[in-house]
Amino acid sequence: MTIRLNGKDHPLDTSLSVQELLVSIGLGQKPLVVELNKKALFPREYEQSVLADGDQVEVITIAAGG
């Protein structure tokens, strides 16, 4: 199965939730904005949003600064 992660193909061995994907790429505890197929998700939706072949995921990290 392959998803599109931030514009690049990203192979997955098995179906994952968005939360599991974030943990697998090292972003599980970071403040983020996540879009799944061009729809912004609330953090409470990450666990129940299961990825399917061909899904498009955009992950944007939030950084504070001045």
- DSSP string covering 21-61, please? HHHHTT-TTS-EEEEETTEEE-GGGTTT-B--TT-EEEEEE
Map out the domains of the chain with their CATH numbers: 2-61 (3.10.20.30)
For residue 66, pLDDT beyond 70 = no
Spatial separation of the C-alpha atoms in residues 34 and 22, rounded to whole Å: 10
pLDDT for res 43:
94
The whole model's pTM is what? Answer: 0.90
11-34 pLDDT, tens digit per residue, is 999 999 999 999 999 998 889 999
For residue 56, pLDDT beyond 70 = yes
28-53 pLDDT, tens digit per residue, is 888 999 999 999 999 999 999 999 99
